[in-house]
Amino acid sequence: MASVIEQCQVAPSPGSAAELTLPLTYFDHGWLGFHRMRRILFYKLPISRPDFVQTIIPTLKDSLSLTLKHYIPLAGNVACPQDWSGYPELRYITGDSVSVIFSESDMDFNYLVGNHPRDANDFYHFIPQLAEPKDAPGFQLAPVLAIQVTLFPNHGISIGFTNHHVAGDGATIVKFVRAWALLNKFDGDEQFLDKEFIPFYDRSVIKDPNGVGMSIWDEMKKYKHMMTMSDIVTPPDKVRGTFIITRNDIGKLKNLILSRRPNLTHVTSFTVTCAYVWTCVIKSEAAIVEEIDENGMEFFGCAADCRAQFNPPLPPSYFGNALVGYVARTRHVDLAGKEGFIIAAELIGEAIQKRMKDEEWILSGSWFKEFGKVDEKRSVSVAGSPKLDLYAADFGWGRAEKLEFVSIDSGDSISMSLSKSKDSDGDLEIGLSLSKTRMNAFAAMFTHGLSFL
């Protein structure tokens, strides 16, 4: 499906720091055993193979090298103690680099960038796998980033990113991608790199008065037999679908909530969209399961950037993870009934509002304990955020044609991706990966419900 044109290693450009070590904070530890994050950006660009080889590849390598000068931990490794006695850390030394594959495919570009259900396996040809960990004295070193750029001759280009979540959250990775895009678009002129794209590395701003980092790390070590530093890729037997919820639909959903629950205060676009998708997902299960425990608990989990919740706030460009999770839960019968959407919106809104400005809850690590009580097989979670606009990553070829969160295929839970719409400000784009039967059921419910607003 994709034949390799060139495989290379791209290192930070001259003038970079010789080395950098970043200790992991209590926001990072929990991601050590998490599946790798995989995203693909597709761009319409009618370019031939000779042009791709002679112009696109060299400029992408040069601009990536320049970008890594600012984001050098992404060229490094996560270093995990082999005996699990010490703490893991991010470590870059001179000579480290990012694996980059340039490839070519004859697959139907228009099929891949569509919204209709598409075979999830098809996308794994365009995302790289992280290299195997290497042994170093006392540590295992696992790379944190790999990139694959694929040409669809005379149609377009895709850029696939695989990264270890322990290196940084969505805000960090999106800033890296957009910084790379800017430097590629403007021929490496760093004056176009706004301050927001220059990472802030000082980990001392993360205060840990309660020793949460140590307690989370001790908890993680209990499951070390289940964790691997290797990047394991298991393409699923699923289809991927994309759904657009318009600003107008969102407004109607908000009005519906407020007409039934006029005293609710946290009725946002995020809340109502997640609540609507959650209830449609729950109801779609009837298409594949004959008997469902109506009193069984269902869970909805989402993560929020808490950089602004600290006192003083962390810089927006803080490099790393600064996410806390919120969990809403209720019985299956509550969500599957006529009032399911109202109940879901109320629960999600309350969970977010209760914790959004609770610095003590953040500093105590209570959010980490909450996720330990979630049954993954009965949960829906969110990847991405409308606040992070990857569609705006313009490498000089215009806005991206399509964004795919390939990693929502992974894990026992159902994960939805959520992002700004490509075309219209205020619209939101939802990605799902489900079995074909369940996807058809979800699509019918999603469309039918909106048509009655």
The CA R_g of the chain, rounded to the nearest whole Å, is 22
The tokens describing 179, both together, are 């910084």
Query: Half-sphere exposure (CA, 13 Å, Cβ side) for 139?
Result: 14
Which of 93, 79, 73 lies closest to 134, judged by CA? 79
Which of 59, 56, 72, 60 lies closest to 13, judged by CA? 72
Integer CA distances (angstroms), 239 to 96, 120, 371, 436, 441, in order: 37, 5, 27, 6, 13
Integer CA distances (angstroms), 195 to 179, 199, 318, in order: 10, 8, 12
Catalytic residues: 165, 394
| The residue type at 299 | F
**Cα separation, 86 vs 220, whole angstroms:** 13
CB environment 119-141: b (16+ within 10 A), e (fewer): ebebbbbbbbbbeebeeeeebbb
Which of 168, 139, 140, 97 lies closest to 229, judged by CA? 140
Which of 51, 74, 112, 28 lies closest to 323, judged by CA? 28
Phi, psi of 49 (to 5 degrees): -60, -45
Which of 126, 138, 122, 132 lies closest to 88, judged by CA? 138
